Chain A
Amino acid sequence: MSTANSSIRDVLYEPPGPKTRRRIGIATAVSIVVLVVLAAKVVRQFYIAGQLGPKYWSLFARYTTWRFLGRGLAGTMEVAVAASAVAFAAGLLLMLGRISRYKILRGFSTALIEITRGIPTLLFIYFFFLLAPQFGLKLPAFWKITLPVAISAAGVVAEVLRSGVNAVPKGQAEAAVSLGMRGGSVFFKIVFPQGFRYVVPALISEIVIVLKDTTFAYVVNYSDLMQNAKVLISNYDALLSVYLVTAVIYILINYLLHKLSVRIAGRNRIPGITIE
């Protein structure tokens, strides 16, 4: 790894010397022992409670169980992808409003950003699920979960994008302007693409939050992974096993998202800027 691309860790810490290496070794060993003991205790508790019995696990030998979870996962992914797309579009518009030269538009966008950031997702869901139908707005379950999740991410996306745009040195826009480029071109061809690259990792973190927010789908009776897991739990009375498998699936998706973020950041890398 060249110095220009070294991570912040290399800058903050000098390489460990022999004393430090020994200390790190001891600390690691102690931590592992403590973790193993804790894990053993947890497993023992579940064993005592009977959750480790084969009847709670045999359902995973069945193809239908996986097909059911798979359908739930597909539902989750559909909501996550749609909500992310809507949140990005709305976030982009809110950001443009917030940096606009028109004061009214600026104030309006700022207010919307603060509101969407300040209100918990569940409240937006109740709005679309309980309140909106009373005013004649009847949406399919898919949109009842997608829209609230997207709205509550939009304000954050707007602020993340704005921080990226603000981080682009002023000279970039000045160079473009002095070549005769007009406002729209300067922003969308020079400033935004660079600002966007700075914040790709933050945007992917926001997708992870969107993905987790989709678990509210049960509120509106939309079959996502979580909802289907709940059905399995009540059908088989298998709490631990199903939650464990479900959690592993969520972790896997988010891990893949992280990997993707590193890939994209690497491909779009502006040399000299490293994202881990």
Chain B
Amino acid sequence: MAQEQKRADAARQVPVIELRHIDKYFGSLHVLKDVNLSVQRGEVVVIIGPSGSGKSTLCRTINRLETIDAGEIIIDGAVMPEEGKMLAKLRSEIGMVFQSFNLFEHKSILDNVTIAPRDVLRVPRKEAQEEAMRLLERVGVADQAHKVPAQLSGGQKQRVAIARSLAMHPKAILFDEPTSALDPEMIGEVLDVMTELAGEGMTMVIVTHEMNFARRVADRVIFMDGGSILEENTPQEFFSAPRSQRARDFLNSLGDRER
């Protein structure tokens, strides 16, 4: 019993996502500057910062959609290699939700959700479909299962994208501005699904400009500017009394719109 407890404690110590000293250049542009980040199991980390500060690049770096020039990416204790089987396996453990949805346009909604479990995890078709229907139910688009992505609204598409990620039973999900491409009236339905996920204990890294949402769901806020993490703080602290001047400027620049 004591031993089990110890092991559980140890497991809690290992971060789901850990970035160590990441440097990234686009040509001569230094986009990520010695970035260190660790995300614990069940934690919701929100990344905030002005446009061009490197938030997307950081997000994409976590599952190596971008190459890096220095540093280490460690997923649940395993170092993520640059290529090969292990890279694919670790990627499958980290879900990703894109600003532009990126649903597979030639596949039905149902197939969008089943394709990865079937292809990667070799789940039998019927089983994959049953699970997909449960997930689509959960995000509220089960009635769209047999349509193709082009027939759905943006909000519906993004919820399907979340279901598609969930189908791989990821250890964490990355969201890169998941509501930025949506009409205002659809933002809520996507944020609701994300809030629910956070409540269920999903580990999440979220890049967003939705400050109210950030305040509500974040366990920790990370402020980025110019490729560096300038501040890590609790949402309460960050939004009421940010430590860095640039974070203050950034929050002020958002103006009354968000506050």
Binding site for B on A (CB under 8 A): 4, 169, 171-172, 174-182, 185, 189-190, 193-194, 197, 270-272
Known: A189-B119, A270-B106. A180 touches B91 (CB 8 A): yes
Binding site for A on B (CB under 8 A): 63, 65, 85, 88-89, 91-96, 98, 100, 102-106, 115-116, 119-120, 148, 150-151, 161, 164-165, 168
Residues of B within 8 A of A197 (CB): 106
Q: For the complex formed, measure the closest distance between the CB of B86 and the CB atoms of chain A, giving whole angstroms.
A: 11
Residues of A within 8 A of B93 (CB): 180
Contact indicator A174/B98 (Cβ below 8 Å) = yes
Contact indicator A175/B91 (Cβ below 8 Å) = no
Contact pick for B164, options A174, A179, A193, CB 8 Å? A179
The contact sample of 25 A-B pairs, CB cut-off 8 A, is A4-B150, A169-B102, A171-B98, A171-B100, A172-B104, A172-B105, A175-B98, A175-B102, A175-B104, A176-B104, A177-B91, A178-B96, A179-B116, A180-B88, A180-B89, A181-B88, A181-B115, A181-B116, A189-B115, A190-B104, A193-B106, A194-B106, A197-B106, A271-B148, A271-B150
Identify the closest chain A residue to B103 (Cβ).
A175
Q: For the complex formed, measure the closest distance between the CB of B127 and the CB atoms of chain A, giving whole angstroms.
A: 17
Contact indicator B105/A182 (Cβ below 8 Å) = no
Q: For the complex formed, measure the closest distance between the CB of A158 and the CB atoms of chain B, giving whole angstroms.
A: 21
Compute how far the CA of A178 lies from the CA of B164 in the bound complex, rounded to whole angstroms. Answer: 11
Identify the closest chain A residue to B90 (Cβ).
A180
Contact pick for B102, options A4, A174, A181, A193, CB 8 Å? A174
Identify the closest chain B residue to A183 (Cβ).
B88
Known: A174-B65, A270-B150. A179 touches B120 (CB 8 A): yes
Contact indicator A271/B151 (Cβ below 8 Å) = yes
Residues of B within 8 A of A189 (CB): 115, 119
Compute how far the CA of A30 lies from the CA of B1 in the bound complex, rounded to whole angstroms. Answer: 98
Compute how far the CA of A185 lies from the CA of B92 in the bound complex, rounded to whole angstroms. Answer: 14
Contact indicator A185/B150 (Cβ below 8 Å) = no
Contact indicator A179/B92 (Cβ below 8 Å) = yes
Residues of B within 8 A of A190 (CB): 104
Q: Which 5 pairs show the lowest CB-CB distances between chains A and B?
A: A180-B92, A179-B116, A271-B150, A171-B102, A175-B102
Identify the closest chain B residue to A184 (Cβ).
B119
Identify the closest chain A residue to B161 (Cβ).
A175
Contact indicator A185/B119 (Cβ below 8 Å) = yes
Known: A177-B91, A178-B65. A272 touches B150 (CB 8 A): yes
Q: For the complex formed, measure the closest distance between the CB of A226 and the CB atoms of chain B, giving whole angstroms.
A: 39
Known contacts A175-B98, A175-B164, A178-B96; 13 additional CB pairs below 8 A are A4-B150, A175-B104, A178-B91, A179-B95, A179-B96, A179-B115, A179-B164, A179-B165, A180-B93, A182-B88, A189-B115, A194-B104, A270-B148
Q: For the complex formed, measure the closest distance between the CB of A255 and the CB atoms of chain B, giving whole angstroms.
A: 28
Q: For the complex formed, measure the closest distance between the CB of B235 and the CB atoms of chain A, giving whole angstroms.
A: 27
Compute how far the CA of A193 lies from the CA of B107 in the bound complex, rounded to whole angstroms. Answer: 10
Contact pick for B116, options A169, A180, A193, A271, CB 8 Å? A180
Contact pick for B96, options A175, A193, A194, CB 8 Å? A175
Q: For the complex formed, measure the closest distance between the CB of B120 and the CB atoms of chain A, giving whole angstroms.
A: 4
Known: A174-B65, A175-B96, A270-B148. A181 touches B119 (CB 8 A): yes
Contact indicator B106/A179 (Cβ below 8 Å) = no
Q: For the complex formed, measure the closest distance between the CB of A272 and the CB atoms of chain B, giving whole angstroms.
A: 5
Identify the closest chain B residue to A271 (Cβ).
B150
Q: For the complex formed, measure the closest distance between the CB of B123 and the CB atoms of chain A, giving whole angstroms.
A: 12
Residues of A within 8 A of B103 (CB): 175
Contact indicator A172/B102 (Cβ below 8 Å) = yes
Compute how far the CA of A179 lies from the CA of B102 in the bound complex, rounded to whole angstroms. Answer: 12
Residues of A within 8 A of B120 (CB): 179-182, 185
Residues of A within 8 A of B98 (CB): 171, 174-175
Residues of A within 8 A of B168 (CB): 179-180
Compute how far the CA of A178 lies from the CA of B63 in the bound complex, rounded to whole angstroms. Answer: 7
Residues of B within 8 A of A4 (CB): 150
Identify the closest chain B residue to A185 (Cβ).
B119
Compute how far the CA of A25 lies from the CA of B105 in the bound complex, rounded to whole angstroms. Answer: 43
Residues of A within 8 A of B161 (CB): 175
Compute how far the CA of A50 lies from the CA of B201 in the bound complex, rounded to whole angstroms. Answer: 91
Contact indicator A178/B106 (Cβ below 8 Å) = no
Residues of A within 8 A of B92 (CB): 179-180
